[in-house]
Amino acid sequence: MTGRVRIKRLLEQGLVGTEVTVAGWARSVRGGKGVAFIALNDGSSLNGIQVVVDAALPRFEEIARLGTGSSLAVTGILTASPAAGQRFELAALSVTIYQNASPDYPLQKKRHSFEYLRTIAHLRPRTNTFGALFRVRSFLAQAVHRFFAQRGFLYVQTPIITANDCEGAGELFRVTTLDPVSPPLVKGKADFSADFFGVPTGLTVSGQLEGELFALAFSDIYTFGPTFRAENSNTPRHAAEFWMIEPEMAFADLAADAALAEEFLRYLCCQLLEECPEELEFFNRQVDTGLIERIRTVAETKFQLMEYGDAIRELQKATVPFVYPVAWGVDLQTEHERYLTEQVVNGPLFVINYPKEIKAFYMRQNDDGRTVAAMDLLVPKVGELIGGSQREERLELLERRMAEMGIATEGLWWYLDSRRWGSCPHAGFGLGFERLIIYLTGMENIRDVIPFPRTPRHAEF
């Protein structure tokens, strides 16, 4: 529509006395004899605008009885509101009804459970919570790109379809064009040489290995794209399709990696506090009362750093009982991570230098012969938010480690090549975008921070 102004802008400008046109969806319609009020929202901000319709207007009876969710455009004069509750309101000169929503509109003028809203994910963006959430999500995505752009990082789009099946980062979704009922067979098994790519392929579980190749050409790079895991995980923190941010820096060690992660998180916190105060206040009020305080703390306090060995000692002297026993060499369980980040430091915590047996093959082996230069960033509520490492850049050590861990080298010849010519120290990390949003909004379920969540048995919408 020509001349339409977004409600956010209209409220910010506050040009009382001017004639404007807005369009949106009615959140609430209160009709009377002499005047009707419409709370109109177009998604541009948490607050809508109150439209005041005088009974003298044509079709007043119809307008006053519009159902919640109706779509309309209103041309009117912006005026200072005489009543409490809003600074401005729109005195309607004309109202165009696109569609009067019928009374069975599933979103009522009341609080709904997140579980119910998940079943109407096609409509939930029209609610206050999901409106605020997806504005924050969009803002954070743009802030991610801004952060890396300002620091000269190259944005690389790594492939979504991959033939790497040996990264050990989770089960692959199979990508194939073979007939599922009767695929071509060789010795009783599907003949993938007849498949589209001529080899078994799947959806990527990580862009890291390809990201490393670009880091060894452009120095500093990052990826930000969809990631897929076919794990049968049923938790509030796991989805089969999620978005991951993976920076990779050449000529960098673990300390530089951790420094980048900290600077990155702090940047996002500051940006959010500065640019999305309305949304943050809403979440702080409705979802998680400690939210703003927590984000401020992250933005201002230096992150703690702890050696894996010290973490183990810290856990061993803890007075709380753990279900899983603690000893050097075991991986930290969720209960351990939460104790460390919530009880010991009460804030973000890097745990670094893990035993090599519990970490991936590509992580750089430390001089002690038993640990690798890995880091996990643990945060209260969420647990592991970031996982990263300095990569093993020494060809012989990498090959030996792959052999020890039973990783086939054939499919990864190109990865090994990167260690053959011009190899150098490099490091990077992966950050789950949805987990970041959970952390920065106080929402508790990953299914409520992604538009249309994909989890076991759920691919609707």
Using CB under 7 A as the binding rule, the residues of this chain from 266 to 305 that contact RNA are none
* Shortest Cβ 179–RNA spacing (Å): 25
- Residue in 147, 242, 354, 439 binding RNA, rule: CB under 7 A: 242
Site for RNA in 381-420 (CB under 7 A): 383-387
The strand pair at 241-250 and 304-307 is best described as: unpaired
What single string gives the DSSP state of each residue in 45-111?
A: SSS-EEEEEETTSTTHHHHHTPPTT-EEEEEEEEEE-SSTT-SEEEEEEEEEEEE---TT-S--SS-
- Comparing CB distances to RNA, the nearer of 116 and 461 is 116
- Residue in 132, 419, 435, 441 binding RNA, rule: CB under 7 A: 435
Site for RNA in 116-135 (CB under 7 A): 116, 118
Q: Is 169 in the site for RNA (CB under 7 A)?
A: yes
154-155, strands of its sheet edge to edge: 154-155, 220-228, 241-250, 426-432, 383-390, 371-379, 349-355, 304-307
- Crossing angle of the two packed helices 291-300 and 254-275, in degrees rounded to 10: 140
Binding mask 304-333 for RNA (x = CB under 7 A): --------------------x------x-x
Reading the block at residue 363, the tokens are 């992580």
* Shortest Cβ 345–RNA spacing (Å): 18
From CA 250, how far away is CA 217, in angstroms rounded?
9
- Comparing CB distances to RNA, the nearer of 110 and 189 is 110
- Crossing angle of the two packed helices 254-275 and 128-150, in degrees rounded to 10: 130
- Residue in 6, 57, 68, 219 binding RNA, rule: CB under 7 A: 68
- Comparing CB distances to RNA, the nearer of 116 and 196 is 116
From CA 349, how far away is CA 330, in angstroms rounded?
19
Site for RNA in 69-108 (CB under 7 A): 81-86, 89, 91, 103, 106, 108
- Residue in 12, 19, 62, 115 binding RNA, rule: CB under 7 A: 115
Q: Is 341 in the site for RNA (CB under 7 A)?
A: no
* Shortest Cβ 131–RNA spacing (Å): 15
Fill in the amino acid letter for 459: A
Reading the block at residue 130, the tokens are 């999901």
* Shortest Cβ 397–RNA spacing (Å): 21
CA-based nearest residue to 328, from 340, 316, 320, 343: 316
Q: Is 189 in the site for RNA (CB under 7 A)?
A: no
